[in-house]
Structure 1
Amino acid sequence: MALATARRPVFKVKPATFTPRYGVSFFNNDYSFQRVRPNSTSVLTKTTRSPEAKPTISPLSALPTTVLLRSLLVATISSKPYLLLPSLSILSFLCKPRRSLLLNVDRNPILHGFLKSTFYKQFCAGETHDEVKTTIRQFKNMGFQGAIMTYAKEVVFDHRTKAQHGLGIMQNQDQDVAGSVFCAHIEAWRKGTVETVELLGKDDYLAVKLTGAGPNVTEAFTAGELPPPQMLDALDEICTKCKDRGVRIIVDAESHHFLSGILRVTLELMRKYNRDGYASVYNTYQAYLKSTPVTLGRHLAASSEEGFTLGLKLVRGAYIATDDRSLIHDTKQDTDDAYNSIAQGALRQEIGEFGRKNGRPFPSVNLFLASHNKASVLAAHQLHQQRMEVKLPTVPVGYAQLHGMSDEVSFSLLQLKGSGGDPKVYKCSTWGGLGECLAYLLRRAIENRDAVSRTGDEYRALKAEVGRRLRSLISFST
């Protein structure tokens, strides 16, 4: 996307050197913004390297070989419809409640071992605290700023069947304690989420799926109401613990059926905890929903009028298989345009009536761009850097891709890291038992099915990196 820089001075973004902790160095492509004719737009052009310049190393060279090979296996399946469609059918079948030993992924050791060593390890952080800590350490060793970690419990509403499915939520009954209603589902969610907080450190993020607290909470969300007091108390406890540890919170995107209630409670949390000049709590806005610009406009107005920082995490959307299709943009291009408009509008501090000439002042916003679209994130980073260089107003921004997906995008961003520490890149993962994470794995598989171009690009990039390493081995041996 072109960046308007008419009558501005030429400047160059110096190539940054990025050194992961295990010793592989990267040298990014040398880019410069060049001014063209007055009143025209600037273009991002690649400059010619001098003969002595060091060659660019493949972004995927940062991946450990075992991870690279597993990624290639999953990418091969994801990019081949004749392999992916049967895999989707199998995962969908296994997601249904099963009591028999043969079909229970947590009780059948053969089925558990196969799924855990392939799909689970590719996309999930671990089943135990030690496994999760190891995964987070690996992310940071590869150069990521930190991890975004989610506890796997959630409820998904299927618009077609009008049914909701609790994932990783036990079907036990609520109990009366000391004359008050005590929800065992909320307590189980609170306990698992607190455990997640304790696995994280400064610069990490906690991503919460509020529907994981069970039916009392989802019923309130469906009605557009705040959840029960027990849930609000749990959220206050979690927010306080996160603030004490330097961990920020992302309220994750979920089924549109629950959206009005989730938006209400998230706005309340932002009002309460985003008062220190930065966002401790982020809401997730799904660009594929036609209603998102209106929702964001309301939240910007609240932030402006009430003086809190708006935490804006932007995603394209991951519930297209179960949400009402009429609520979603008609084409992928419409979704891409909506995503880029919000992302670049936030970076320019111009969204709707906010930040424009004769409009309302732009409020305090922290931006987080979660995307697997390389063009979107590179354009956003270039715009952010451009505005920083020429001292134009902008907002703090971070970037994230899902664990096991779009590593080429993640490491391409890491290659651009400069002395100021930008871009800040994270990996987002989920932890919990294999059975609890099955629906999450299914959603990742569906996402890969619907992103034919991206999965094909990933497959080719991974295959090229495997080939490069094999050629290096052969050259070394000879």
Structure 2
Amino acid sequence: MEISPRKRLNFENTEIAFRNKSNADLNSAYYLYKVISSNFLVKVGPPVTNFFLTIGLPLKSIIKATIFKQFCGGETIAECENTIKQLALGKVGTILDYSVEGEEEEAVFDFTSEEIIRTINRAEGDSRIPITVFKITGIGRFALLQKLDAKEALTEAEFAEFAKVRQRCKKICQVAFDKNVPIMIDAEESWIQHTIDELALDMMRLFNREKLLVYNTYQMYRHDKLADMKADHLIARETGFILGVKMVRGAYMEKERKRAEEMDYPSPIQLDKKATDLDYNNSLVYCVENMEQLGFVSGTHNEESCKVLAQLLDDHQIPHNHPHVYFAQLLGMSDNLSFNLSDSAYNVAKYVPYGPVKAVLPYLFRRAQENTSIAGQTSRELNLIEKEKARRKH
């Protein structure tokens, strides 16, 4: 594998970032981010929208044409085909993410499990879909996972219920193994995460002996997760499997802090953003220095972390397209990172959530809230769109 020639990364290059976006697409994204920049609308949006949908007002078509179109690929795998094609034009891969959540019934968990398997089947043999993903809460009851994390005694029925969760998880990973399609297990709230971590390690022990297949996710806004990742790497070395790591900053910070305060236990969250950034970038250093025994996906919208990883790969003379390292961002966000990285021959993929509009609403509202809570994210997106619109006029 040849070392890619050093090409200076420029995340301000909007021509590359928005190459596949029409003027209409740019205008649509611009007005959507203008709306998102209103904290008031983002806060009142979820309850008002759910109320209107409940009483039968025809909001679905409006949502589908606006916020859903920006952040989701479609309602079905088939509807995601155009997004897969558009991303591939910019040499960016697709991570199909069935984003239905908050369900409670066994029949729904069985259906979700089969839908995740359908994403694996769709990805088989298609280099445009290099990785797949799922959440354990998509295939098992949140309250059950919480009880396991709290080490509370399970009833006989609950033991049987968790055996089914494990069975679904194993079946998904087995299909991924058979089809040679890597799969990531997403991180969730801290009070169910230990159970998820144990399941992920069990799957790696089973399926990561010959190849990198299963990844666990480490949220670096938790002060214990860099240490956990290093401990898991030690287990992997001693047990003889390849560790799959996806590192993110995290998605549940406000909820985590609030719960810790209400229940009077030490918050698992870092003291400040600086500490999170430090652990995140240190995790990149650790992974690059141990790439013969692990593979990783750097899930980040942070420009500095992208530069750190790009520099680390060059410093260690690791090819930009080495199969053990990926950059990842969410669809509809940070195109300036995704497409400029792919233009410099790095492996890049976008999370492409899909599912019925109403079922995906919790995900969409989190994205809107995330854009207002990440310092400068919305204004950054708006500035880049404005810059590209001005460039096209000249």
Identify whether the pair has TM-score above 0.5, normalized to the shorter chain.
yes
Alignment of 1:121-270 (within 5 A): 121-144=69-92, 146-154=93-101, 166=102, 169=103, 183-202=106-125, 203=127, 204-215=130-141, 218-224=143-149, 228-270=162-204
For the 8 Å contact 1:282–1:313, the answer to whether it is kept is yes
- Residue 369, structure 1, aligned to residue 302, structure 2: no
Q: Counterpart of 2:342 in structure 1: which amino acid?
A: L
Amino acid at match of 1:211: T
| Larger proportion of strand | 1
Q: 1:13 to 1:190 in 2, by over 3 A?
A: closer
Give 1:411 deviation, angstroms. 1.5
The CA deviation at 1:311 is 0.3
The secondary structure found in structure 2 opposite 1:388 is coil
Q: 2:30 aligns with which of 51, 72, 76?
A: 72
Counterpart check, 1:425 vs 2:382: no
Q: Secondary structure at the match of 2:241?
A: coil
Any conservation in 2 of the 1:222–1:257 contact (CA below 8 Å)?
no
280-289 vs 198-207, greater mean Cα deviation: 198-207
Do 2:42 and 2:365's aligned partners in 1 also have CA atoms closer than 8 Å? no
Instruction: Give distance in 1, aligned partners of 2:39 and 2:393.
Output: 27
**Does residue 467 of structure 1 match 2:390?**
yes
Paired residues of 1:285 and 1:314 also in contact (CA < 8 A): yes
Q: Which residue pairs with 2:262 in the alignment?
A: none
Deviations 1:426-451 (A, max 9, x none): 01121111111111011111211111
- Alignment partner, residue 118 of structure 1: 66
Q: What's the offset of the Cα at 1:128? A: 2.2
Cα distance in 1 between the residues matched to 2:90 and 2:323: 26
Q: Describe the SS at the equivalent of 1:452.
A: coil
Structure having greater relative contact order (Cα 8 Å, sep ≥ 6): 2
Code of the residue aligned with 1:86 in structure 2: it is: L
- 1:397 offset after TM fit, Å? 1.0
Quote the RMSD (CA, aligned, Å).
2.6
CA distance in 2, matches of 1:387, 1:442: 40
Identify which of 276, 280, 283 aligns with 1:342. 283
1:313 and 2:230 are equivalent in the alignment? no
1:439 corresponds to 2:362? yes
Cα deviation for residue 196 of structure 1 reads 2.5
Preserved contact between residue 371 and residue 377 of structure 1 (Cα < 8 Å)? yes
Structure 1: unaligned runs, 5 residues or longer = 1-11, 17-27, 31-55, 155-165, 173-182, 350-361, 418-422, 472-478
Unpaired segments ≥5 residues, structure 2: 152-158, 259-266
Whether the 8 Å contact between 1:347 and 1:384 is mirrored in structure 2 is yes
Q: Which amino acid aligns with 2:377?
A: R
Partner residue, 2:264: none
- AA aligned to 2:119 is T
How many pairs are equivalent?
Answer: 367
TM-superposed CA distance for 1:58, in Å, is: 2.8
SS at match of 2:255: coil
- In structure 1, which of residues 94, 119, 130 is the aligned counterpart of residue 49 of structure 2? 94
Identical pairs, percent? 27
Q: 1:333 matched to which residue of 2?
A: 274
Shift of 1:57: 6.9
SS at match of 2:46: helix
TM-score by length of 2: 0.85
**Alignment TM-score, normalising by the size of structure 1:** 0.71
Q: Distance in 2 between matches of 1:92 and 1:347?
A: 44
Give 1:453 shift: 2.0
- Report if aligned partners of 1:150, 1:208 keep a CA contact under 8 Å in 2: yes
Name 2:316's counterpart in structure 1: 387
Classify 1:132/1:371 alpha carbon distance in 2 versus 1 (closer, same or farther; 3 Å): same
In 1, are the aligned partners of 2:28 and 2:66 still within 8 Å (CA)?
yes
Tell me the SS of whatever aligns to 1:317. coil
Q: Deviations over 1:170-221 (max 9, x none)?
A: x65xxxxxxxxxx324312222222322332344221101112242x64135
